[in-house]
Amino acid sequence: MADDIAVTPGSGASVAADDVGGVLYQRVKLAIGADGSAADASLAAPLPSSDAGPAWASSYTYTTSADMTTAADLTAAPTGGQKLVITDIILSSDTAILFEFKEETSGTVVGATRIPADGAVQFTPRGKWKLATADKKLQGEASAAANVYVTVFYYSEA
């Protein structure tokens, strides 16, 4: 049912409206376009967006070990001359341990977590967790022998 409102009585021009509980709400049509132009938006055609998802090609590695008390590689090397950016880590252990994430060669600890026996953690950094040095892998080291399972999602960036 049309609840239109006359713009100027007797002119034949009106504004589309909808009566919701006795209150008239103006109905509008969405138009998109650059300054000075307008095209009707349609459900048949997607709205323009610059967000085509992540702009990187993500990789992941799965590593398991019964004794990672010596630093072990958790990722492959980044693209030559670039640094690794970590987006997610899933880590579990059958033994209570302290698990440290380190940069290859330097041994610099970039993060750590305690895991309870038969526990798991997931890291999803809010910002970039980017290694400081180009061409270095992410490594992991456990405080005690334990069955650990680590999946790391990452990409390379200059």
Residue count (the chain): 158
| Beta carbons within 10 angstroms of residue 88's beta carbon | 15
- Encode pLDDT of 39-73 as tens digits: 887 777 666 666 655 677 889 999 999 999 999 99
- Listed in sequence order, the residues at least 6 apart from 122 whose beta carbon sits closer than 8 Å to its beta carbon are 88, 89, 90, 91
* Topology of domain 59-157, CATH: Jelly Rolls (2.60.120)
Q: Which tokens go with 129? A: 């967790």
Question: According to the model, what pLDDT value does residue 105 have?
Answer: 93
Question: According to the model, what pLDDT value does residue 74 have?
Answer: 98
Q: Which tokens go with 41? A: 């938006």
Low-confidence winner among 2-6, 25-29, 101-105 (lowest mean pLDDT): 2-6
Question: According to the model, what pLDDT value does residue 93 have?
Answer: 97
Q: Which tokens go with 136? A: 């270095």
pLDDT greater than 90 at residue 34: no
Question: According to the model, what pLDDT value does residue 114 have?
Answer: 96
- Encode pLDDT of 105-119 as tens digits: 999 999 999 999 999
- The residues spanned by each domain of the chain are 5-40, 59-157
